[in-house]
Chains A and B, each alone.
Chain A
Amino acid sequence: MKFPIVKGAGYVLVNTPDMLVHNGSTQTTEKLTNPDSEYLKGLAEHIRTFDDVVAYLPNQVYIGNLHPEKLKEYDMPWFDKESPIKERFGKYGEIMPQDEFIGLMKMADAFDLVKLEKKFAAEVKQKLQRHPLFDETDIEKIKEGLGIEEITKQIDEHHAEGIYMDGKVVGCVKRAHDIDINLNAHTMFENIVVKASGALALRNLIAKNGLDPASIEYVIECSEEACGDINQRGGGNFAKAIAEMAGAVNATGSDTRGFCAAPTHALINASALVQAGVYENVVIVAGGATAKLGMNGKDHVKKGYPVLEDVLGGFAIMISQNDGTSPVIRTDLVGRHTVGTGSSPQAVITSLITAPLDKGNLKITDIDKYSVEMQNPDITKPAGAGDVPTSNYKMIGALGVKRKEIDRKDLMSFVEEHGLPGWAPTQGHIPSGVPYVGFAIDDMADGKIDKAMIVGKGSLFLGRMTNLFDGVSVIMEKNTGMEEKESVSKEEIKKLIAEAMRGFAETLTDE
């Protein structure tokens, strides 16, 4: 089998402190149910500066400036430690500040719904001129802007959603229809954020890996929002909108959904399309979730932490035909949580982890690194959700003990050696399996690892359609560099032998 390869990965974060306050669902719900709450009053004191966000260890890991293993050298909490590298731009992507991102939202706005205040628009244009990934044609899309009175009128009288910077209104997102709730200002805001942050991830993927956008033939978008109108709420298609913004002129695409599991589903789908020869290069991409900003803010404030969910996440990965060097995706070693799997942890881990291993005659310890739900524990622990990657590793290790592949006393060393500390922001689909793909490419190239398993899980029950949850997994493996030969069937071998024998017999007869 000629497996597809992972050509490159791009990872971006967008620091959005005002969107956290005005658009995160924890905060918007609190404003509705308890507008005078102590939490809302004290929230501003717990918001980090852009410099703090850039200097945050897990964020430097996310954009590729620090390896996740480096996090082990720091005691938790991490928010009060400073990263040795404090760069806005990284090996795999960047951390964008909010003002530039608002400019990017305007660039992503195909229906003139984003209105920016004149002075702010001028400042942002100037700032973005220094950004390596945007040219004059992009920046022109930000336009002149409007007077502040026109913007406040849109917010106060026409249901527009405010865009804030440093606590002040600097623009708005207008509703796209008078009565269609799927095109209201709130939904349009979230969707434009997905498109803009997804496009930023795709542009970074292209730039950081020296790819030609025209070589992309198909894009699969795998975030958690839905775009559509009154007649088709999830009609789509973020994928093509993002491809358009990144100059992928030869691409079409579609959206794949599956809560947090969607990126791994997309990774498998993209690999299948490439391996089948349908397309040469397929990109999977996702933008960030506005609603999840400050999701655990109440607990962070209660514990005296800064509100750590102050970034949107985005990523993009390109899957291509086998080049003989980049890591392959073993499409023959896929795990899936089926309808009939059941929900016991043992059944879940069996279907996601050991079923694909068994197909490949592999042991749990044959996988060098497992990339599971890579949520940053600095965010989840104070909120009482524990250390999610570590609990996943313990469960994998426990099954290894049960299968007699790991000695019980070595359980924690399994977690240490085959796991990684979490570093991804709790943006649902963003931490799920895919954050390690970029590092896996490098770790395989550097000879540190041979095999990694990417595992994605999704909470389907949140959509209230089923009580089931979901998960899929796939193995990424170092490229042997050897051209895999077409296999020969038994029948073909018999035929070849028969022909050779017949030929031999004929030579005997002739003599």
Chain B
Amino acid sequence: MSAFENKKIIIIGDRDGVPGPAIEECIKTVPGTEVVFSATECFV
């Protein structure tokens, strides 16, 4: 069972790492998750 299962998810992606939409795509594969916020930020 994934740690994310049946959880509401907040995603902060990194432009120079893994951006928000890419994390969102992965999270969607886990049952019962709901992405309540997803953004990509620039940390430089």
Contacts and interface: CB of A to CB of B under 8 A. Distances in A.
Nearest to A292: B44
A434 to B, nearest CB: 15
A426 B44 contact: yes
B16, B22, B25, B41: which has the most chain A beta carbons within 10 Å?
B16
Contacts of B41: 459
A373 B22 contact: no
Contacts of B16: 373, 388, 391-392, 457
Given A343-B22, A344-B25, A392-B16, A469 B40 contact: yes
Given A388-B16, A392-B16, A469-B15, A461 B40 contact: yes
Interface string A449-472: 000000001010110000101000
A373 B43 CA distance: 12
Interface in A312-343: 342-343
A385 B19 contact: no
B38 to A, nearest CB: 9
Contact of B42 (A345, A386, A392, A459): A459
A469 B19 contact: yes
A380 interface: yes
**How big is chain B's contact interface, by range?**
10 to 19
Which size class do A's interface residues fall under?
20 to 34
Contacts of B44: 260, 373, 375, 380, 385, 388, 426, 428, 431
B26 to A, nearest CB: 9
B39 interface: yes
B15 A380 contact: no
B40 to A, nearest CB: 6
A183 to B, nearest CB: 28
Contacts of B13: 343
Q: Which of B15, B17, B25, B41 has the most CB of A within 10 A?
A: B15
Interface in B1-44: 13, 15-22, 25, 39-44
B18 A467 contact: no
A263 B40 CA distance: 22
A375 B43 CA distance: 11
A447 interface: no
B37 to A, nearest CB: 13
A456 to B, nearest CB: 12
Contacts of B17: 345, 386, 391
Interface in A367-393: 373, 375, 380, 383-386, 388, 391-392
Residue in B19, B39, B44 with the greatest tally of chain A CB atoms within 10 Å: B44
Contacts of A260: 42, 44
Contacts of A431: 44
B22 A461 contact: no
A462 B19 contact: no
Contacts of A461: 39-40, 42
Contacts of A384: 43
A307 B43 CA distance: 17
Nearest to B43: A385
A388 B43 CA distance: 9
A467 B21 contact: yes
A380 B40 contact: no
Query: Nearest 3 pairs between A and B by C-beta?
Result: A459-B42, A385-B43, A343-B19
Interface of A: 260, 342-345, 348, 373, 375, 380, 383-386, 388, 391-392, 426, 428, 431, 457, 459, 461-462, 467, 469
Given A344-B25, A467-B21, 19 more contacts: A260-B44, A343-B13, A343-B21, A343-B22, A344-B18, A344-B21, A344-B22, A345-B18, A345-B22, A373-B44, A380-B43, A385-B43, A386-B17, A392-B16, A426-B44, A457-B15, A459-B40, A461-B40, A469-B42
23 contacts: A260-B42, A260-B44, A343-B19, A343-B21, A343-B22, A344-B21, A344-B25, A345-B17, A348-B19, A373-B16, A375-B44, A385-B44, A386-B17, A391-B16, A431-B44, A457-B15, A459-B40, A459-B42, A461-B40, A462-B42, A467-B20, A467-B21, A467-B40
